[in-house]
Amino acid sequence: MDIALAIVSIAAFVMSATTCVLTFINNRKKLNIYIYEYQRADKAHNFRFGFENESRVPITINRMFLFVENQKFENKPVSSLVQKMVYHDGGVNNLFSMDFPIAIPALGAQKGIVVFGKCPIEIPECATQLTFQVNTNRGMINKMILDIPPDAHRRMMSQ
């Protein structure tokens, strides 16, 4: 009887420890960010980002920073008009940047334009990577180096 109780106790401990480790792994922040398009306009850099939350807990992005030539530029937190397209049939399509904070649900994704204003430094056409810092409600993500798609500079912002 004592041996069976000891075996059950050890099995319960092992299952509890396994559950604790798996919960930690599934709930840690796993945020992937992708650059889809890039456009320079009026001393500002406009990026179309894709944000992907692979954790089981929602994440909110509070701020983003762009690093160019060891200088740090913050994103514009308020939505602004990025591009206005007027069609020949009279239709108008206004493209706005994302409002901050950006709420990303658990196992969800968001896609939108982020504007880094007051940035007088040009990003070279030949640049293949850029450095960003992301502040979230679950702590700051240290500098992330993101790849720029080869044709991102040449694409026009489109919806």
Residues 6+ apart with CB under 8 A from 142: 133
The β-bridge partners of 101 are none
Torsional class of 6: left (φ above 0), alpha (ψ -120 to 50), beta (otherwise): alpha
Q: For Cα atoms 119, 39, 84, give the angle at the middle one, nearest 5 degrees.
A: 110
Question: Which of the four pLDDT bands, split at 50, 70 and 90, describes residue 141?
Answer: confident
Mean pLDDT score of the chain, rounded to an integer? 81
Mean pLDDT of the 100-124 span:
84
- Over residues 99-114, the mean pLDDT reads 88
30-147 belongs to CATH 3.40.50.300: no
pLDDT at residue 63 is higher than 50: yes
pLDDT score for 159: 42
Give the domain ranges of the chain: 30-147
Band the pLDDT of 15: cuts 50, 70, 90: very high
Closest CA to 60 of 143, 140, 114: 140
Specify whether the CB–CB gap between 26 and 15 falls below 8 A: no
140 pLDDT higher than 70: yes
Share of the chain above pLDDT 90, in %: 4
- Taking alpha carbons only, the member of 134, 57, 52, 53 closest to residue 101 is 134
**Tell me, what's the pLDDT at 16?**
92
In 48-65, which positions are buried (b, 16+ CB within 10 angstroms) versus exposed (e)? bbebebebeeebebeebb
